[in-house]
Amino acid sequence: MFLGYFGWTSTAPGILGEILTAPLNVNAMTWRTCPAATELETVVVDWLRQWVGLSDEFDGVVYDTASVGIMHALAVAREEAAPATRKLGLTDRNLPRLRIYTSDQAHSSAEKAAIALGVGEENVIRIPSDDQFRMDVNSLSQSIGADRRNGLQPMAVIATVGTTSTASVDPVRDIGNLCRQAKIWLHIDAAYGGGFAMVPEYEWIRKGWELADSIVINPHKTVFVPLDFSVLYVRDLERLRRVFSLVPEYLRGDTVDAEKNYMDYGIQLGRRFRALKAWVIWRSLGRSGVVARLREQIRLANLLADWIKKDDRFELSAQPSMGVVCFRFTGAAAPSPRPGTAARGRAGSIDRIDEINSGIVEQINASGSAYLTQTKLRGRTVMRIGLGNVLTTEQHLRKGWEIIQETADAL
Ligand code: PLP
C-alpha cells in the first residue's frame, strides 16, 4: 500500500546482492584495490547504456544518487564554460556570471549542484513549462539570448525526462538543437524516466538523447536496484576524468595506467561495490523481466487514471506518465467559475478544495492504511501516486483508491 514518491523497490535478488556485497567489503577506488568491482561496474554500466539506446560515445560511472551525478556533470560543464576553474577556482578572475537553465518542474538537485559548485542557486533560471508540464523552448531561447546580451555566460541546460511531480518529458531534441547551436552543455535528468526508455512503448522518450553531453539514470528508482545506485553517462567520459583525476603519491603505485580507476571520475576515493547487486538483479530478471515489471506499473497507472475519470468528484491533474498519476478532488459538478470570481464546487472555495486534497493525503498517511503524497501544480494542491514497488498489485491499488474515495467522502 506504499504509493508515495517514486515507488523505489527492492527485489529478492537485490537483497541477495546486498548480502553478498557486505561481507566482501571491497573498495572500488582503483582497479588494483578491486579488479572485480571495477570490471563489473564497467559491465553493468554498459548493459544499461545499451538497454536505453545510448550510443557508445557515452560511458558512465556509478554514484550513490542523481544529485551527486548532476553535480559532477555540471562541474565538467563549468570547466568548459570557464576553463581552468579546476586549477584557479572562480574567484578573483573577472569571470562572467555563469547561468544554468532548467524548467519550473525540474528537481531541486539543480540548485544544490549550483550551490556546491560556487555558481549560486540564483543563477539557476527556471524556465516556464507548457500545459503538459514540459519546458517551453521559446522561453529558454529568449532567456539565453537576454543573458548573453547582458554579458552573462550560459553554462548548461538541464532537460528532464520524467519530472518529479508529473513524470512529464521535456522536448529534449529541440532543447538539444538549441544547446548545440549556442554551444551550451546539455545535461539530461532521466533519474526517473531513464529506466522506462527500455520499454518499447516508451522508446519515444529517448528522442534527442544523442545531443546530450551528460545524462543521469537512477536504477534505484526504476531498474529494481535497491538504494543507492545512480549512473552518470558522459559523452567522452575523458572530459569528466580530466576535471577530477588527481593521483596523490600514496596511491601512485596503485594506479596501473592501462586500467580504469573509478576514483578518477569523481570526488569520492573509497567506493562501495555497488555493481554486484545490479549484476545479480539484472542477471536474474533479465532485460525482459525488467521491461515486464515496468509495463505492469504503466498498466496500473493507466487503470487508476480510468477509475479517476469515472468518478466525477475527481479529475486528473496531468496526463498519467510512466508510473505517476496526479489527480485532484474537485468537489464535483463545479460550475465553471464566472470571470473574476473564485471557482466554487460542492465542497466550497478553491482554497478549501486545496485543503481537502491535502487533508485526504494526510489523513490516509496518518492512518497507516496506505501512503501517498501531494504536490502543487500551477499553484493548486493535487494528490500523487507513484507506482513502482514490485509487490504492488491491482488489488492493492483498488484498495488504495477506495480508501481515497472514502476519505474524501468523510472530509
Ligand atoms: N531528478 C529527479 C527528476 C528526481 O525526481 C529526483 C528524486 O526524486 C532526483 C533527480 C534526485 O535523485 P537522488 O535521490 O538519486 O539524488
- The rounded Å distance from CA 217 to ligand 1 centre is 9
The pLDDT of residue 131:
95
Dihedral sign for Cα atoms in the order 77, 82, 83, 88: negative
3-state secondary structure labels for all residues of the chain: CECCCCCCCCCHHHHHHHHHHHHHCCCCCCCCCCHHHHHHHHHHHHHHHHHCCCCCCEEEEEECCHHHHHHHHHHHHHHHHCCCHHHHCCCCCCCCCEEEEEECCCCCHHHHHHHHCCCCHHHEEEECECCCCCECHHHHHHHHHHHHHCCCEEEEEEEEECCCCCCCECCHHHHHHHHHHHCCEEEEEECCHHHHHHCHHHHHHHCCHHHCCEEEECHHHHCCCCCCCEEEEEECCHHHHHHHCCCCHHHHCCCCCCCCCHHHHCCCCCCCCCHHHHHHHHHHHHHHHHHHHHHHHHHHHHHHHHHHHHCCCEEECCCCECCEEEEEECCCCCCCCCCCCCCEECCEEHHHHHHHHHHHHHHHHHHCCCECEEEEECCEEEEEEECCCCCCCHHHHHHHHHHHHHHHHHC
Residues 149, 44: Cα–Cα separation, whole Å: 45
Angle separating helix axes 350-367 and 394-410, nearest 10 degrees? 130
User: What count of other Cβ atoms lies within 10 Å of the Cβ of residue 15?
Assistant: 14
- The rounded Å distance from CA 190 to ligand 1 centre is 9
The pLDDT of residue 331:
84
Residues 98, 122: Cα–Cα separation, whole Å: 10
Residue 8 in contact with ligand 1 by CB distance below 6 A: no
Task: Report the DSSP pairing between strands 124-127 and 98-103.
Answer: parallel
- The rounded Å distance from CA 254 to ligand 1 centre is 34
Residue 191 in contact with ligand 1 by CB distance below 6 A: yes
The pLDDT of residue 409:
92
Determine the atom of ligand 1 nearest the C-alpha atom of 163.
3
**pLDDT tens digits for range 191-207:** 999 999 999 999 999 99
- The rounded Å distance from CA 71 to ligand 1 centre is 12
The pLDDT of residue 332:
59
Residues of the chain under the 50 pLDDT cut: 333-345
- The rounded Å distance from CA 221 to ligand 1 centre is 9
Determine the atom of ligand 1 nearest the C-alpha atom of 218.
15
What is the overall mean pLDDT for the chain?
Answer: 93
At 208, list the grid cell. Answer: 534527442
The pLDDT of residue 45:
98
**pLDDT tens digits for range 353-395:** 999 999 999 999 999 999 999 999 999 999 999 999 889 999 9
Determine the atom of ligand 1 nearest the C-alpha atom of 193.
3
The pLDDT of residue 339:
42
- The rounded Å distance from CA 66 to ligand 1 centre is 6
What domains are there in the chain, each with its CATH number? 27-272 (3.40.640.10), 286-410 (3.90.1150.10)
**pLDDT tens digits for range 144-186:** 999 999 999 999 999 999 999 999 999 999 999 999 999 999 9
Residue 192 in contact with ligand 1 by CB distance below 6 A: yes
Ligand 1: which of 65, 103, 107 to mutate, judged by most atoms within 8 Å of the beta carbon? 107
Residue 375 in contact with ligand 1 by CB distance below 6 A: no
Strand partners, 314: 329
- The rounded Å distance from CA 226 to ligand 1 centre is 15
Residue 36 · residue 161 · CB < 8 Å: no
Taking the whole predicted model, whether its pTM rises above 0.85 is answered as yes
The pLDDT of residue 199:
97
Residue 102 in contact with ligand 1 by CB distance below 6 A: no
The pLDDT of residue 257:
67
